[in-house]
Each structure stands twice: as C-alpha cells, then as structure tokens.
Amino acid sequence: MKNLFIVSGSSGSGKTTLLELLSRDLNIEISVSFTTRNKREYEIDGVHYNFISKEKFKKMINENLFLEYENVHGDLYGTALSSLKEYIDNKKLLFFELDVNGAVSLMNYYPNNTVSIFLSPPNLNELRKRLVLRSTETEQEINKRLSRFEEEDNLKKEFDYNLINDNFETTFEKIKEIINRHKKED
C-alpha cells in the first residue's frame, strides 16, 4: 500500500506551507524530522522539527536510528526509523517534507509504500524572490540554497510527479488530487 507521501524540491518551492494546509485538509500527519539547524522564530520544537545538537544527531547516526539523513547547507536533517514503523505496520498515511537526497533514500528504502512529488519554483529568479521575502536567511544562506538548485532540479526525474508551483491554489489542488487518487487505489 502506498501510504508515505513525499513532497520535495528546492528551498522556497512552497513545500512547508502546502504540506501544512494539505495535512489539515486531508487529515494526514506530517513526519517530524530531526535537525541541527537553528529554530526559526515561528517554529515549534517537536511540531516543525525536532531541534537537537550536532552531538546528539551524530550519536543517533552512530546508533543507526535514522532511515536517512543529509547534510544540507551545513545543517543535519534526518528521518528516524522509529517514526515510520507504526505507519508502515498499520498502513497509516503520512506526509514527508524532505530534501531531494533524503526523498530518494526513502523511495529506495520503501519503494512499494511511497508516492513522491517534486515541487519546482517557476524559475530561479522567483526562487530568489521567495527566499528573500520569507526573511529567514541571510544573503549568504540564500546564495547557498540557490547554489543547490540545479543539483536538486536534476534529480526530479526520480520522482513520481513533477509540479511547478507557480500558483499556490492550483498546486494545492493538484497535490490533493494525487493523494486522493492513491488513497482510492489501495
């Protein structure tokens, strides 16, 4: 059964906002990843991410507690294996917001359970504008995120669906349609 829905794409593609609204609308939980990055002002520990130190993250790596983990822009992000077992065993639906490499890892680990969606901004200029407007990163951090754009975009062929998020409402409805289609198939 396909019950793990992955939404991935570059920083600023709209993943977080779309997933938060889709989660409420479809009553599907969002997997909470672990990260070592600094918490943004609006984020809640345990809701948006589990914010932990690099030392604790490395200890979890050494104990093989992650399904996947990545170093993204100098910060570590990972999906704990323990958070997946309940969903796989009970065929419960779960959303994932993952960087591209993490998404590919999850798809490879659970190929029969995943539906993957890659979100792209309309173009690089729009992506820069979105990153600047959200006012959560320095100019250096924005440039670091933009430098990964081509690498991430090259991996979109690995995903089941590729969507350009040029209109929020349209993209929301397309993702909702994809999720509902797969819920009916199972």
User: What are the structural domains, with CATH classification, of the chain?
Assistant: 4-185 (3.40.50.300)
Give the pLDDT confidence score for residue 165 in this predicted structure. 87
Give the pLDDT confidence score for residue 133 in this predicted structure. 73
- In angstroms, rounded to a whole number, what is the distance separating the alpha carbons of residues 152 and 159? 11
- In angstroms, rounded to a whole number, what is the distance separating the alpha carbons of residues 54 and 158? 30
Q: Which amino acid is at 94?
A: L
Render pLDDT for 61-85 as a digit per residue (tens, 0 to 9).
999 999 989 888 789 999 998 878 8
What's the whole-number mean pLDDT along residues 155-183? 92
What's the whole-number mean pLDDT along residues 7-36? 89
Instruction: Return mean pLDDT, the chain.
Output: 87
Give the pLDDT confidence score for residue 46 in this predicted structure. 92
71 CB neighbour count, 10 Å cutoff:
11
Give the pLDDT confidence score for residue 186 in this predicted structure. 56
Stated pTM of the model: 0.82
Give the pLDDT confidence score for residue 185 in this predicted structure. 67
Give the pLDDT confidence score for residue 146 in this predicted structure. 66
Give the pLDDT confidence score for residue 84 in this predicted structure. 85
* More confident of the two residues 136 and 112: 112
Beta-bridge mates of residue 97: 7
Nearest to 128 by CA among 147, 102, 110: 147
Give the pLDDT confidence score for residue 63 in this predicted structure. 97
Of the candidate ranges 53-57, 103-107, 135-139, 176-180, the one whose mean pLDDT is the lowest = 135-139
The pLDDT of residue 167 is above 60: yes
Distance between alpha carbon 72 and the CA centroid of its chain, in Å? 12
Confidence of residue 140 (pLDDT cuts 50, 70, 90): confident
Distance between alpha carbon 77 and the CA centroid of its chain, in Å? 10
Share of the chain above pLDDT 70, in %: 93
Give the pLDDT confidence score for residue 112 in this predicted structure. 92
